[in-house]
């Protein structure tokens, strides 16, 4: 295994390009803390839905802000199985934040400026011990503009829709391909056109198009990148 220094790795990209699968693999392989910033936006969206603060008429921003300011507790826990789960107080909401309903409301919620600053503040707090890989839409541009390694992920529309569909079906969430494709297109548009930190590739990010790649090929790709960037040729466990 190669030794990677204590850096921050930012992974951004379009919806359903496999960012979290890639980031989790890198975290496990190199011993990094994995943080899923999208889960935080999903958690805030679930809060807004449960409190009746989002619907066809839009978002009741003042009330949502009051809920966040009142000390809404959203945090990650790591059970012994090595996964990362999102909790709201003592309630595990990892499954609920992945439904199609949350997916359909999350982009408008994440376009709200005070929601973004609330999430950013928490992400910085969770990362204070360093050695973190975080995935999202604005990690390399806004949350950690000085991250030592930035990756921007893309994949073809067809591959992305198929992946998302397979993921939902595997979780037992009913969905149709039309619905999934429509949701992806809408999210791409909102995420890349919003006023506050829109999704875009940081100038110093390395692009990874994984449409035709296996997980193993993705791992080899990042190993090559790390070796090239940090000049590490090999590591045999000795100092």
Contacts with ligand DC: how many residues (CB under 6 A)?
14
Q: Is 24 in the site for ligand DC (CB under 6 A)?
A: no
Q: Does 218 bind ligand DC (CB under 6 A)?
A: no
Site for ligand DC in 120-139 (CB under 6 A): 136-139
Checking 206-209 for CB contacts under 8 A at 24+ apart, the result is 206/149, 206/150, 206/151, 206/152, 207/151, 207/152, 207/153, 207/154, 208/13, 208/22, 208/151, 208/152, 208/153, 208/154, 209/153, 209/154, 209/155
Q: In terms of CB distance, is 7 or 187 closer to ligand DC?
A: 187
Closest to ligand DC by CB, 33 vs 232, is 33
Rounded to a whole number of angstroms, the minimum distance from the CB of residue 231 to ligand DC is 30
**Residue 183 contacts ligand DC per CB under 6 A:** no
98 versus 131: smaller Cβ distance to ligand DC: 98
With contacts defined by CB under 6 A, name the span among 23-31, 38-46, 153-161, 200-208 that binds ligand DC.
38-46
Nearer to ligand DC, 32 or 105 (CB): 105
Question: Is 164 a residue that touches ligand DC (CB under 6 A)?
Answer: no
User: What does the alpha-carbon distance between residue 150 and residue 202 come to, in Å, rounded to a whole number?
Assistant: 8
Q: Is 43 in the site for ligand DC (CB under 6 A)?
A: no
Could you say whether residue 163 binds ligand DC (CB under 6 A)? no
**From the CB of 216, what's the least distance to ligand DC, in Å?**
23
Question: Which one of 25-33, 50-58, 75-83, 105-113 is the stretch in contact with ligand DC (CB under 6 A)?
Answer: 105-113
Q: What is the number of alpha carbons within 13 Å of residue 126 lying toward its C-beta?
A: 26
| Only segment of 58-66, 106-114, 173-181, 202-210 that touches ligand DC (CB under 6 A) | 106-114
Interface pick for ligand DC out of 8, 15, 27, 76 (rule CB under 6 A): 15
Asked if 14 and 45 count as a contact pair (C-beta separation under 8 A), the reply is no
Residue of the chain from 53, 93, 191, 222 that contacts ligand DC (CB under 6 A): 191
Which residues have C-beta within 8 Å of that of residue 132, sequence separation ≥ 6?
Answer: 8, 9, 32, 33, 34, 35, 126
**Footprint of ligand DC (CB under 6 A):** 15, 37-38, 41-42, 106-107, 110, 136-139, 187, 191
């Amino acid at each position: 295994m190669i030794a990677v220094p204590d850096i921050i790795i930012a992974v951004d990209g379009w919806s359903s390009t496999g960012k979290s699968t890639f980031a989790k693999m890198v975290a496990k392989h190199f011993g990094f803390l994995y943080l899923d910033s999208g889960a935080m936006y999903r958690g805030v969206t679930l809060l807004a839905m449960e409190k009746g603060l989002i619907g066809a008429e839009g978002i009741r921003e003042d009330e949502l802000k009051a809920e966040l300011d009142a000390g809404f507790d959203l945090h990650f826990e790591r059970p012994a199985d090595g996964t990362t789960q999102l909790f709201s107080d003592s309630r595990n909401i990892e499954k609920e934040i992945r439904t199609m309903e949350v997916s359909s409301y999350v982009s408008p919620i994440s376009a709200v400026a005070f929601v973004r600053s609330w999430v950013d503040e928490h992400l910085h707090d969770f990362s204070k011990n360093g050695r973190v890989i975080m995935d999202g839409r604005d990690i390399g541009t806004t949350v950690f503009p000085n991250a030592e390694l930035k990756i921007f992920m893309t994949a073809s529309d067809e591959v992305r829709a198929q992946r998302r569909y397979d993921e939902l079906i595997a979780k037992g969430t009913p969905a149709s391909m039309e619905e999934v494709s429509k949701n992806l297109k809408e999210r791409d548009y909102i995420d890349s056109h919003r006023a506050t930190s829109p999704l875009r590739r940081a100038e110093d990010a390395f692009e990874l198009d994984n449409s035709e790649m296996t997980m193993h090929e993705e791992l080899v790709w990042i190993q090559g990148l790390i070796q090239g960037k940090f000049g590490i040729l090999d590591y045999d466990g000795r100092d």
